[in-house]
Structure 1
Amino acid sequence: MVPMEWEIKPLSTETWDAYAALIAKHNGIFGGCWDTYFHSLERDPDRTYDSNRELKCRLVEDGRAHAAVVFSGDQAIGWCQYGSPEELPNIHHRKQYDAEADLVPDYRLTCIFVDRDHRRQGVTEFAIQGALDLIAQAGGGVVEGYPHERPTKKVSSSFLYNATRPVYERMGFEYVRPKGLKNTVMRKVVAPR
């Protein structure tokens, strides 16, 4: 059961401070990425924690970074990053994905992150649903997610950057195909609201 105090707010200049505090609490997440990995196909070896933070802030200010941020009171406790393929061109196993693509989705869900103090409480599904609701408000469309297959051995939830296939199945996504050895392509059509 979802706590009543949880709510979804879109990533924006108004929610930036709480979102940034969550990322900073986790040392920039994934080696100082600052949730920028999926925004660019080019890897700059000179990028740092600080330059990634500045890049993400600039993308938010320019309206080129979208996420459903989960709040508990004034504190951000998780998010689901989403955006168009143009906004989020970088996905794992991209060469295989492009070779096997049957369509270009309107939106991608690329990174889901939950504060370590709030894991295993339903934040992931709440964040995904929040992203789907924001997509519906923006006109809806075909949404793809790239979750991991169910792990066969114990894996830290911090490595499951896009949740698992069973989570997406519970949320009405359809399995399309494998992507790499441990990931999948899953798809859902979101009606406009």
Structure 2
Amino acid sequence: MTDTTFRIEPLSPETWPAFEALVERHNGIFGGCWCTWFHGGHPSCEGRGESYEGNRAIKKRLVEEGVAHAALVMDGDEAIAWAEYGTPAELPSLHHKKQYDATSATEPDHRITCVFVDRRFRRQGVTELAITGALELIAQAGGGRVESYPHDLSEQTKKMSSSFLYNGTRRLYERLGFTYDRPKGLKNCVMVKAVKPR
């Protein structure tokens, strides 16, 4: 059960310090990625993956340019989670890209590519809150076809650590109104939802 005092704020130059503090509390996320992996191929990403500080500078630059988006879950002034989203041009990199391209019939208007929750708040419904926040911000930006690429654990019997679930699970997205489109890689899938503009 999530705390009703949590609120959603968009990632922006104004909320960058809260985002930065969350990433730094977790050593740069996934080996110092700074949530830059899915931006790979974007012109502002030259040097991505070379260093912790380099990734930090790239992410900050993308935020300042207005091409890095996320719904931040805020607890007071502290960011405790995010859901990264953007257009395919802003987030061109995907895991299993070759298979994805070969099976894709329609390009989405937006993608939700990465969700991260502060370790202190995991298993409390915050992931769902972050994704819902991203969907609301997408609606405010005009809506459209939204894709996400969660882990498909429907046939897995062994429990997976939440720290490996960088984009939630198929079951979670189904609860949020997404429909299964197709498999992607060994344990991931493509989920889609039409989001009306607000």
3-state SS, counterpart of residue 116 of structure 2? strand
For residue 55 of structure 1, report the CA deviation from its aligned partner: 0.3
Paired letter, 1:18:
A
Corresponding residue of 2:40: 40
Corresponding residue of 2:78: 75
Paired letter, 1:110:
T
Q: 1:75 and 1:139 mapped to 2: Cα distance?
A: 28
Structure 1 stretches of 4+ moved >4 Å: 42-46
Paired letter, 2:67:
R
**Unpaired segments ≥5 residues, structure 2:** none
Corresponding residue of 1:12: 12
Paired letter, 1:172:
G
Aligned length: 193
Corresponding residue of 1:158: 163
User: Is structure 2 residue 106 aligned with structure 1 residue 103?
Assistant: yes
Q: 1:28 and 1:36 mapped to 2: Cα distance?
A: 10
**Per-residue CA distance 1:60-108 (angstroms, 9 max, x = gap):** 0110100000001111000000000000000100000000001000000
User: Is structure 2 residue 120 aligned with structure 1 residue 147?
Assistant: no
Paired letter, 1:111:
C
Q: 1:146 and 1:69 mapped to 2: Cα distance?
A: 19
For residue 4 of structure 1, report the CA deviation from its aligned partner: 1.8
User: Is structure 2 residue 152 aligned with structure 1 residue 178?
Assistant: no
3-state SS, counterpart of residue 12 of structure 1? coil
Paired letter, 1:178:
P
For residue 43 of structure 1, report the CA deviation from its aligned partner: 8.7
Corresponding residue of 1:61: 64
**Unpaired segments ≥5 residues, structure 1:** none
Q: CA RMSD in A?
A: 1.4
TM-score, normalised with respect to structure 1: 0.97
TM-score, normalised with respect to structure 2: 0.94
**Per-residue CA distance 1:16-72 (angstroms, 9 max, x = gap):** 001000000000000000000000148958610000000000000110100000001
Change (3 A) 1:140 1:45: closer
3-state SS, counterpart of residue 102 of structure 1? coil
3-state SS, counterpart of residue 98 of structure 1? helix
For residue 3 of structure 1, report the CA deviation from its aligned partner: 1.1
User: Is structure 2 residue 197 aligned with structure 1 residue 192?
Assistant: yes
Q: 1:170 and 1:137 mapped to 2: Cα distance?
A: 21
Q: 2:55 and 2:193 mapped to 1: Cα distance?
A: 31
Corresponding residue of 2:117: 114
Change (3 A) 1:80 1:164: same
